[in-house]
Chains A and B, each alone.
Chain A
Amino acid sequence: MTETDVTLRVADLRVDLASGAQPVEGVSFDVRQGEMLGIVGESGSGKSMTLRAMSGLLPHGVRATVTGSVTVAGTELATASGRPPRHPRVGDRAAFGYVFQEPLAALNPGFTIRRHLLEALRAHGRLGDRSDRHDRLVAALADVRLPEPERVLRSHPHELSGGMRQRVVIALALIGRPHVLLADEPTTALDVTVAAEVLDLVQTLQREHSLTSVLVSHDLSLVAQRCDRVLVMYGGEIVESGAAADLMTSPQHPYTQRLLEATVDPFDPELRRTPDPEVESRAPLMTAGGVTVTYPARRRRQDPVVAVDGVDVAVRAGEVVAVVGESGSGKSSMAKALAGMQPVDDGDVRLGGRTVTTDRRDRTWLTGEVQMVFQDPYSALNPRMPVGTAIQRSLAIHQPALDAASRREEARRLLDDVGLPRSFEDRYPVELSGGQRQRVVVARALAAQPRVLLADEPTSALDVSVQAQLLALLRDLVDRRDLGMLLITHDFAAVRAIADRVVVMSRGRIVEAAPIDDLITTPTDPYTRRLLDAVPSARRTHTTQEST
């Protein structure tokens, strides 16, 4: 590449925090004009810190020294002072535009969208003439394809949907006519279909405004699908870089290889699951029939909200049934109903000849049959209880015949079962990583000797490589102990990794239910197809874009 092509050059960027930590240890890369560069890494890899340090956006109160050089469009931005430059400009354009992970948090709750845009215009000295100001605001919103720009201008952030908010954030970033657009996990907080739309928009804008951009993400498939070139970061350093396609087919660095291995592509034909006829012939363990859950209206003169609308699900011993849907699909309410934590307005959930209720007197029975694995392992364990004690509490309730010594021994055996060393029994949750905590949660669930495991987004708070291990553990436990498992998730990769059958929910109803292989290869419902199309993948075996 020639020098004039390079829009962004980062050389030997380092961040030293006052605490002594070095989240970024000498990062160098170039981005060419019009290119979209992807940076992939897990938590703690330094990928976000790299972005923030070079654009002068370290969070308030963080004391850090930034060294190295950042060059945008041939102009070096001053970092020599050790203080990152505040909002650097090159010519009459901003050096960077920034898109944040959480659009709701990134917008000021007290400002209307109009106020946000005006503030950005003022900052760039582009307030201009009062007469056409309104038209320019409307144009800025139309540029990011926001419908009804007039209404959006008058709105406060909380009145918009997640996708609309993210479009507003992008519009704000574009007001400075930046050379480089930096997007830090821009779609992590959004639903799959909305996320795809937002990324499509970024790519369209990139062409229209001849932008250069950097996309930071934990999701290798997503980056590989969207970007021309990809950097892999680990421990504050770049461990591998190259064209997206090369990286996906022949990763060089061992870390990249591990990451790629852990990344499940739902459309990978090798992941075919052979059904076990013995399991399929079993009678269901737990059956939900016509389950309906409604919440009372939040305001008068509104109808009650029907979260779950006549849903049937059944799970047998030894199989994993996935319930998939986007936010608002009713899958979480369904999970609560199955666990007896949410009263059912119609239909019933039956288990071992009994009906599941929210009745307090049934809890000991129910919790002995159905156990849960929670979404966030960081908050699912009592921070003031050693993990061994946490497991023993469950044993004390469900196996009261055990004395203290055998409870302790049994808790240790359960730690073995979930692949944790026995010495962990005296540790507190803070001393464990996310994946380890999730294993403790699983061990605690097993201590109740349940027949059904209910896992509500068990991997969404974990790093990719840890996700794969935990899913493998869950599948193994289902097979070894003949458990029935319901996996509630939005993530097709997790579904593909361990599920036998899938139920797709949308707006409280089941739109499609099928064995996993059939669903992936030949989805019949249009919503399922849209959902699958939005999943980033390099190996999609079908495409429905023409048919819709």
Chain B
Amino acid sequence: MTALDPTTAADPLSPGGVDPVLDPASARPQRVWRQLHRNPKTLVGLLVLVPTVLVAILAPWLTPYPYDQVYVGEVLGAPDADHLLGTDLNGRDLLSRLIMGTRVVVGIPLVVGLLTLLIGVPVGLLAGYLRGPFDAVAMRVVDIFLSFPWLLVALGLASVLGAGLSTVVVTLVVVYWPQVARVTRNSVIAVTEAEYVKAAAAIGESRTSIVLRYVLRNAYFPVLVLLSSMMAFSILNEAGISFLGFGIQSPDTSWGLELAAGSTYLSAAPHLVVFPGIAIVVVVLGMNLFADGLGDLLSRQGRNR
């Protein structure tokens, strides 16, 4: 882009052509706050996510009853003053079970996110920066992994590892690391082709210094966007696997598991489906909104480049 033409030089959509959040010069608290205001999606997302994380941390102290305590005689009880969300088919308090389930909802995305970053980012970074044969081989491997539909991976792994939490985590890491690797690689390539990386070589910077000081600092954002939407999907994935019976096993709890158990008694006790369902939808939507808000920032940054 040259500066000769005002209609292209200054983006009329973002006054001044400067992005207040991605622009590191203005990463001051009040500017970040203003940016959140202008981007309500991220704000609403945070309003859902922060309480969810808090509930997950404080879960054992928040549950009105022990989550695995059976109340005989209160099987499939409708919501009332004692059990705000009713009881399940074993007579356990649904609210307590959902509160404990928050730990899965928060924990799975965090663990999966961390593991996929640990595998995907180094692979993508090396492929994007070194290019050549390593890139070619790594991306073919990524292509192969990308063509495993996630549920098939789960079913295949369940047949080998059996049902359980480890199946869920391994499945999601297998499914998502190639996406992280590919996005990292593409972002690194885009940054590496920018003139400031060539300029860094021209002032004599070493390769390590170029990667750390110039490439990584400018390439991480798209990975962050992917990561946040990936985390939203992983909540749905866990729920799906647990729904089919290959994920978390009772008496442990997860929202998908509760919904699965409840769906058998749909007409008798609809609350067993409705409450876990709403919980999943709200948290995933919050995560999606957060991810989408980040994505909007990213595309604005792209226009300013």
Interface residues of A (CB under 8 A from B): 17, 19-21, 23, 43-49, 52, 59, 61-62, 64, 101, 184-185, 188, 218, 339, 341, 363-364, 366-368, 371-372, 374-376, 378-385, 393-394, 397-398, 427-428, 430-431, 434, 441, 444-445, 447-448, 460-463
Contact = CB atoms under 8 A, between A and B. Distances in A.
A52 B3 CA distance: 18
Given A379-B305, A383-B218, A448-B204, A62 B13 contact: yes
Contacts of B15: 17, 19-21
Contacts of A375: 195
Interface stretch (B4-12, B75-83, B161-169, B261-269): B4-12
Q: Which of B200, B201, B203, B218 lies at the interface centre, i.e. has the most chain A CB atoms within 10 A of its CB? A: B203
Given A367-B202, A460-B2, A21 B12 contact: yes
B199 A61 contact: no
A185 B4 contact: yes
Contacts of B31: none
Contact of A59 (B4, B12, B196, B209): B12
B2 A339 contact: no
Contacts of B7: 48-49, 52, 59
Interface in B188-222: 194-196, 198-205, 209, 213-214, 217-218
B18 interface: yes
B194 A379 contact: yes
A449 to B, nearest CB: 12
B25 interface: yes
A430 B4 contact: no
A243 B203 CA distance: 49
B143 to A, nearest CB: 24
B204 A368 contact: yes
Chain A binding site: helix, strand, loop or mixed by DSSP?
A: loop
Contacts of A62: 12-13
Contacts of A393: 200, 203, 205, 209, 213
> Would you list the 4 A-B pairs with minimal beta carbon distance, nearest first?
A367-B204, A428-B25, A379-B195, A19-B15
A62 B14 CA distance: 10
Chain B binding site: helix, strand, loop or mixed by DSSP?
A: helix
A397 B203 CA distance: 8
Given A185-B5, A379-B305, A427-B25, A19 B203 contact: no
Nearest to A61: B13
A428 B27 CA distance: 11
A128 B305 CA distance: 45
Interface in B86-109: none
Nearest to B203: A394
Given A363-B204, A374-B195, A444-B203, 12 more contacts: A59-B7, A185-B5, A379-B194, A379-B305, A382-B213, A382-B214, A382-B218, A393-B203, A428-B23, A430-B18, A434-B3, A463-B4
B73 interface: no
B24 interface: yes
Nearest to B18: A430
B28 to A, nearest CB: 12
B1 interface: yes
Given A62-B12, A378-B1, A379-B196, A372 B6 contact: no
A529 to B, nearest CB: 27
Contact of B5 (A184, A381, A397, A427): A184
Contacts of B1: 378
B86 to A, nearest CB: 49
B24 A461 contact: no
A145 B81 CA distance: 86
Contact of A397 (B9, B12, B14, B205): B205
A19 B218 contact: no
Contacts of B205: 393, 397
B23 A381 contact: no
Contacts of B10: 43-44
B3 A371 contact: no
A447 B199 CA distance: 13
B153 to A, nearest CB: 37
Contact of A380 (B196, B209, B304): B196
B17 to A, nearest CB: 8
A338 to B, nearest CB: 12
Q: Which of A59, A366, A375 lies at the interface centre, i.e. has the most chain B CB atoms within 10 A of its CB? A: A59
B98 to A, nearest CB: 42
Nearest to B199: A380
A383 B15 CA distance: 18
Given A371-B203, A381-B196, A383-B218, A19 B5 contact: no
A430 B20 CA distance: 10
Contacts of A59: 7, 12
Contacts of B25: 427-428, 430-431
17 contacts: A17-B15, A19-B13, A23-B12, A43-B3, A43-B6, A43-B10, A44-B10, A46-B6, A48-B5, A188-B5, A218-B4, A339-B202, A382-B218, A428-B23, A428-B25, A430-B304, A431-B18
A368 B23 CA distance: 31
A185 B265 CA distance: 71
B206 to A, nearest CB: 8
Interface string B208-242: 01000110011000000000000000000000000
A461 B2 contact: yes
Contacts of B12: 17, 19, 21, 23, 59, 62, 64
Contacts of A184: 5
A306 to B, nearest CB: 24
A397 B13 CA distance: 40
Given A48-B5, A188-B4, A218-B4, A384 B203 contact: no
